A and B are shown apart, each in its own frame.
Chain A
Amino acid sequence: MQDVAIIGVGLHPFGRFGTKSAIEMGAEAIRAALADAGLSWREIQFAFGGSFEVDNPDAVVAMLGCTGIPFMDVYNGCATAATALELTADSIRMGKYDIGVAVGMDKHLPGAFTSDPVHYCAPSWYGQNGQFITTKFFGMKINRYMHDHGISSKTLARVAAKNYRNGALNPKAFRRKPVSEDEILGAKMLNYPLTHYMFCAPDEGAAAAVLCRADIAHRYASKPIFLKATALRTRQYGAYEVHSSWAAVQNTASPTTYASRAAYEAAGIGPEDVDVVQLQDTDAGAEVIHMAENGFCADGEQEKLIAEGTTEISGKLPINTDGGLIANGEPVGASGLRQVHELVLQLRGQAGERQVPGKPGVGYAQLYGAPGTAGVSILSI
């Protein structure tokens, strides 16, 4: 199997952009990734595009050039971009193509996501009853986790404040203003114990990466970043996940745990080797839980680690250095490729004001979302 390298990344800023379409943002992200790799669109052999709102991300070829390449569209909830990345990588691993693009783009209306629960294998009454709400799941999950593992609301506020602070250092972030822990704790309670400022918001944006066979990567990049592993998992019986109307009494681990283990095994890398991390912070509690689910600490250790600043850019385990979802918002199709964009900049030493010191060599990204789907990617220099 061929190894895979990332030779270019591009990001359209995340935020609100008036009437500008998601497709236009996707085209800009791809152009930026191509420029980063020193390639033209003509040299791209295939692409995978991810989106929730755009039926046909492949329509972006109208703006880039109708070269006739295979361009496959994917949607996989919050793990959409990790899916586009994995499929692009797999196509190269299998030896079918040498160079391809993974892109994600989205443009959501403000406010929590909604849909017909039937599409999520949940009954119609579940929506009519006011239960088909993703944010409520996160409130329920972290409330139990805090009870079991001694995590305080102060820790949730610290996580959100860190991500806003990191976002303030990122010119492409949606929220670029630090928010104090007191303001975060005092904001409107959306789903106890999670306040308004502890949640990310759906927004707009796009991100892209150019991938190629690792053995030809040096033709295009002086410092290629290697995609050591990708893993996707869905939930197992017993897991209580987003949009579950019921759960088994016997708990099982979340899909993130299984995706994480599979990715570490495939990469031959362990959590102790990771230098910079991107986790799905749909809310501040999710970042706390995901630290443990991805093997970076034991359950409950987060309280001390976060208070000591371990997850700050200057800490031993920097998490969401670009502000994560809390500061960038979540254009679902693009979110995971934003994470990859940030990791690539960090591993190349190009992250500017938010650069992790000490030349990080291994980066880790995780996505999680409805109806219980997770994606993990591990990158290294």
Chain B
Amino acid sequence: MERRLLPRRGTIWSWTTQGFLPKEPYAGDETPETFKPFGMGLIQLGDEIRVEARLTESDPTKLRIGGDVELVIIPLRTEASGRQVVTFAFTPI
């Protein structure tokens, strides 16, 4: 096994939305009241691999198969200590 740097940009192979609050082990800190749907995509990075990731966009009219996306870091939760936990996602460009 070797480490390999993947491209930061890719294209959407397919996408969907997550319209309900995931159960545990989901680590986001939304409640059923504060939860907002998020996008999910299978992102093709060059000719190397497809990776599944969250999308920053969840509006179906703004997402399309073949659309270009770029890696970003987004907040996932804020812990009681105030420390912010972040995760990776792709954003349409």
A residues near B (Cβ < 8 Å) are: 111-112, 114, 116-117, 124-125, 127-133, 136, 139-141, 143-144, 147, 188-194, 240, 244-249
- The distance in angstroms between the C-alpha atoms of A131 and B42, with both chains bound, is 11
Selected from B23, B37, B47, the residue in CB contact (under 8 A) with A114 is B23
Is B9 an interface residue when CB atoms closer than 8 A count as contact? no
Distance (Å) between the CB of B12 and the closest chain A CB?
10
B50 touches A240 (CB 8 A): yes
Set of chain B residues within 8 Å of A125, measured between Cβ atoms: 87
Q: A111-B23, A140-B42 are in contact. Are A248 and B15 (CB under 8 A)?
A: no
- The distance in angstroms between the C-alpha atoms of A247 and B40, with both chains bound, is 15
Distance (Å) between the CB of A9 and the closest chain B CB?
34
Set of chain A residues within 8 Å of B82, measured between Cβ atoms: none
Is B49 an interface residue when CB atoms closer than 8 A count as contact? yes
A130 touches B50 (CB 8 A): no
A139 touches B16 (CB 8 A): yes
A144 touches B14 (CB 8 A): yes
Q: Quick one: closest B residue to A126, CB to CB?
A: B52
- The distance in angstroms between the C-alpha atoms of A249 and B51, with both chains bound, is 10
- The distance in angstroms between the C-alpha atoms of A117 and B25, with both chains bound, is 8
Q: A133-B18, A240-B42 are in contact. Are A245 and B51 (CB under 8 A)?
A: yes
Set of chain B residues within 8 Å of A246, measured between Cβ atoms: 49-52
A131 touches B52 (CB 8 A): yes
0/1 interface trace, chain B 1-21, chain A, CB 8 Å (1 if under): 000000000000111111110
| A-B contact number at CB 8 A | 103
A191 touches B27 (CB 8 A): no
Q: A143-B15, A247-B42, A249-B49 are in contact. Are A190 and B27 (CB under 8 A)?
A: no
- The distance in angstroms between the C-alpha atoms of A246 and B15, with both chains bound, is 14
Set of chain A residues within 8 Å of B22, measured between Cβ atoms: 114, 130, 132-133
Is B65 an interface residue when CB atoms closer than 8 A count as contact? yes
Set of chain B residues within 8 Å of A144, measured between Cβ atoms: 13-14, 42, 65
Selected from B38, B44, B48, the residue in CB contact (under 8 A) with A130 is B38
Q: A136-B40, A140-B14, A240-B42 are in contact. Are A128 and B19 (CB under 8 A)?
A: no
Q: Quick one: closest B residue to A145, CB to CB?
A: B14
Selected from A114, A128, A132, A141, the residue in CB contact (under 8 A) with B14 is A141
Distance (Å) between the CB of B11 and the closest chain A CB?
11
Q: Quick one: closest A residue to B42, CB to CB?
A: A140
- The distance in angstroms between the C-alpha atoms of A81 and B16, with both chains bound, is 30
Is B24 an interface residue when CB atoms closer than 8 A count as contact? yes
Set of chain A residues within 8 Å of B24, measured between Cβ atoms: 114, 127
Q: A130-B22, A130-B28 are in contact. Are A245 and B50 (CB under 8 A)?
A: no
Set of chain A residues within 8 Å of B26, measured between Cβ atoms: 127-130, 132
The 5 closest A-B pairs by CB, nearest first: A139-B16, A144-B14, A128-B27, A127-B25, A114-B23
- The distance in angstroms between the C-alpha atoms of A140 and B40, with both chains bound, is 8
- The distance in angstroms between the C-alpha atoms of A247 and B37, with both chains bound, is 24
Is B76 an interface residue when CB atoms closer than 8 A count as contact? yes
Q: Quick one: closest B residue to A195, CB to CB?
A: B19
- The distance in angstroms between the C-alpha atoms of A128 and B53, with both chains bound, is 12
- The distance in angstroms between the C-alpha atoms of A132 and B22, with both chains bound, is 8
Interface centre among B17, B41, B51, B76, by most chain A C-beta atoms within 10 angstroms, is: B17
A248 touches B20 (CB 8 A): no
Set of chain B residues within 8 Å of A249, measured between Cβ atoms: 44, 47-50
0/1 interface trace, chain B 65-82, chain A, CB 8 Å (1 if under): 100000000001000000
